[in-house]
Structure 1
């Protein structure tokens, strides 16, 4: 019998538990460790932040889901991973031994790297449902007395889609309230151009996103570094293509949402050979850590080198479809090791994204996510808005049932009407 521990119970961790249970031997034990008793669907947070969703619509209790699957669950956060001893130290002092460990923690949100950034400072976030609820409270006050908005992603950020989504969702909500004319909007991003997305763009994303912003009267500042945030005032330095300071901006705002940079969580940060200097888990082509061969990682916590440097640092996003392929590869590779064989499965690292813009939306397909690609496609329209809503409901139903089927591959690709791209 082997004990397989999964650290984290989010979009990577829960599907990892489902697939590992299906692939493990009957007498193997699987345990999920999480610092929260609930799962929430992160892609719906922008809707929560403008009062289009309630928390209970995108949140599920984890324990009963895993109990039905025969998976143990510990709702206590990890204090420290000890890979030399094959143990996870919990915050309550317990030590959990493992034969195989899958790290699926997601990131630590590095608000502290910029003075005044984040929910404890002067900007909001949609990275967690707690933040989204706080943002909603502020949003309801804002629409009663509107003013300028600054929205975007700071230097080092690697997840740009939610910034575009939230900007456009706010814009739609303001139009519905008939107060859009009272709200100047500025999009601030570390990307070298609008629509870069940390991916060197996808298809015609640059011109299409610029066109959408122009149509919606959203001005933008690229190659931007946020130096400090004060109450109602953001200090931004715009850089040229060589990364040299070009212009300083002092942007007044009455409401702001800025995505932070990500780091590895404290439980693994600084462990030599396990993580890189930012705390992301080092892996090989089989999702396996080179130094600790019984440790795997999936999701946002994985270290991926950007395809090329940008004037201001940007990371690579890990989309749901990409994470799903990591999960499947990891489950099969651990089973191979259990059978005395060597890992052989590779994650596809393909990217499919549905971004809701309130009453329309944008979608892209990047196969693979990192250039050069076999497929690079970007489109927008009302159908994306509908597809995102349908996908949210389907995903939550499947998580509640504990399915191990490849949700993103089967549902998102079908919803976009491009199943024929699957073989590329």
Structure 2
């Protein structure tokens, strides 16, 4: 009997554990290491930040689902991975040995890289449920005392969808509160153009998002490098296409929410052969690390090169469909290795995204995620908001029930009618 451990219990780690149990049966042991026993649905955090959701509505205690699936949950959390010893040092001083490991930690939020950045300083966040609840308090203050707002993503960020979502959700919430006319809004982003998304655009995301921003009276600054955050302003260096400084602008702001750059979590950072300089896990096309071949990795924590050179550093997002395909491929590959075969499953790394705007939204599909593509599609409408609500309910049910059925492939194949997408591909045996 082999012991397979999943490090992390977020969107990728939770379904990774479920899919491993499905693929490995009861012949092998599956464990999960997580900080706490509660799963939180991060895509709903922008709604939490304006009071449309509360903590209880988007969280699931994993204990029951893990017991049901015969998965051992270790809620102590990891202090340090020791891959040469096949061992995880836990935060309570104990250790957990493994035969195979899947790293699905998600990212560390690099707020410390910019002066005044983060919930402990001058900005708000929707990256974590605790941050979103703190942001809700600041939102209530904004409604009582309206003032200028800055939303966006800083240099090195790789997750742009939630920034656009929150800008439009906040705009809708301010309209509902009847104070929108007293809140100037500016979107500040490191992207070279609106709608780049770290993907060099998908379909007409540039035109759709620029039009939506004009319609909602949201100004924008692109190619932006934030120098520092202060209590009443954001100091932004605007960069030319050749990387030179165009201007340094002080953007007034009494409420700021900008997404940070990501890096690998401390438990796995700076391990030679395992991570790149930012601490992201190095994997091949089978999600397998080549220095430690009993280690696989999925999700936001893996290393992916950027789409190309941009004036300000822009990372590539790891979207839900992409993560699901990584998970399915990894589960199949570990099952093959345990049977004495070589890994042969590959995630397709397609992007399917529903960007909710509170009363509408934009959806896009990219196959593959980076251009040139076979599918390059985007659309907008009120149906996107309804679909995002459906996604939330479906995924939370999936986590509670311990099932691993892929959602994004179903969305692409059935709802969007795009029949060219498949969750996993295989090499010739």
Q: TM-score, normalising length from structure 1?
A: 0.98
Match of 1:277 in 2: 277
Structure 2 CA distance for aligned equivalents of residues 423 and 326 of structure 1: 12
Match of 2:268 in 1: 268
Gaps of 5+ in 2: 424-429
Structure 2 CA distance for aligned equivalents of residues 355 and 190 of structure 1: 19
1:391–1:411 contact (8 Å) kept in structure 2: no
Is residue 28 of structure 2 the alignment partner of residue 28 of structure 1? yes
Q: 1:360: Cα distance to partner?
A: 0.7
2:412–2:419 contact (8 Å) kept in structure 1: no
Match of 1:230 in 2: 230
1:15–1:327 contact (8 Å) kept in structure 2: yes
Structure 1 CA distance for aligned equivalents of residues 304 and 387 of structure 2: 29
Q: 1:410: Cα distance to partner?
A: 1.2
Secondary structure of the 1:73 match is strand
1:114-148 Cα distance to aligned partner (Å, 9 max, x none): 01001011101111111000000110111011100
Match of 1:200 in 2: 200
Secondary structure of the 1:158 match is coil
Match of 1:108 in 2: 108
1:391–1:412 contact (8 Å) kept in structure 2: no
How many residue pairs get matched? 423
Structure 2 CA distance for aligned equivalents of residues 16 and 251 of structure 1: 43
Q: TM-score, normalising length from structure 2?
A: 0.97
1:169-220 Cα distance to aligned partner (Å, 9 max, x none): 0111111222111010000000000000000000111111111111111110
1:412/1:398 CA distance change after superposition, 3 Å: farther
Flag as ranges the 4+ runs of structure 1 deviating above 6 A: none
1:149-181 Cα distance to aligned partner (Å, 9 max, x none): 000000000000000000000111111222111
Match of 1:288 in 2: 288
Structure 2 CA distance for aligned equivalents of residues 133 and 372 of structure 1: 40
Match of 1:125 in 2: 125
Match of 1:346 in 2: 346
2:122–2:231 contact (8 Å) kept in structure 1: yes
Q: 1:78: Cα distance to partner?
A: 0.6
Secondary structure of the 1:296 match is strand
Match runs of 1:41-120 below 5 Å: 41-120=41-120
Structure 2 CA distance for aligned equivalents of residues 248 and 389 of structure 1: 40
Measured on the aligned residues, the alpha-carbon RMSD in Å equals: 1.1
1:20-78 Cα distance to aligned partner (Å, 9 max, x none): 00111422101100012200111000000000011111000111111110000000111
Structure 1 CA distance for aligned equivalents of residues 149 and 412 of structure 2: 32
1:221-244 Cα distance to aligned partner (Å, 9 max, x none): 001001111111111000011111
Match runs of 1:14-413 below 5 Å: 14-411=14-411, 413=413
Q: 1:399: Cα distance to partner?
A: 1.1
1:56-108 Cα distance to aligned partner (Å, 9 max, x none): 11000111111110000000111110010010011111111100000000000
Match of 2:421 in 1: 422
Q: Which region of structure 1 is more displaced relative to structure 2, 331-340 or 171-180?
A: 171-180
2:412–2:421 contact (8 Å) kept in structure 1: no
Match of 2:427 in 1: none
Structure 2 CA distance for aligned equivalents of residues 103 and 218 of structure 1: 39
Structure 2 CA distance for aligned equivalents of residues 207 and 407 of structure 1: 28
Structure 2 CA distance for aligned equivalents of residues 420 and 345 of structure 1: 20
1:261/1:388 CA distance change after superposition, 3 Å: same
Structure 2 CA distance for aligned equivalents of residues 236 and 65 of structure 1: 46
Structure 1 CA distance for aligned equivalents of residues 242 and 344 of structure 2: 41
Secondary structure of the 2:27 match is coil
Structure 1 CA distance for aligned equivalents of residues 258 and 401 of structure 2: 34
Q: 1:412: Cα distance to partner?
A: 5.4
Q: 1:4: Cα distance to partner?
A: 0.3
Structure 1 CA distance for aligned equivalents of residues 252 and 175 of structure 2: 21
1:275–1:282 contact (8 Å) kept in structure 2: yes
Q: 1:414: Cα distance to partner?
A: 2.7
Q: 1:419: Cα distance to partner?
A: 3.8
Secondary structure of the 2:282 match is coil
1:155–1:312 contact (8 Å) kept in structure 2: yes
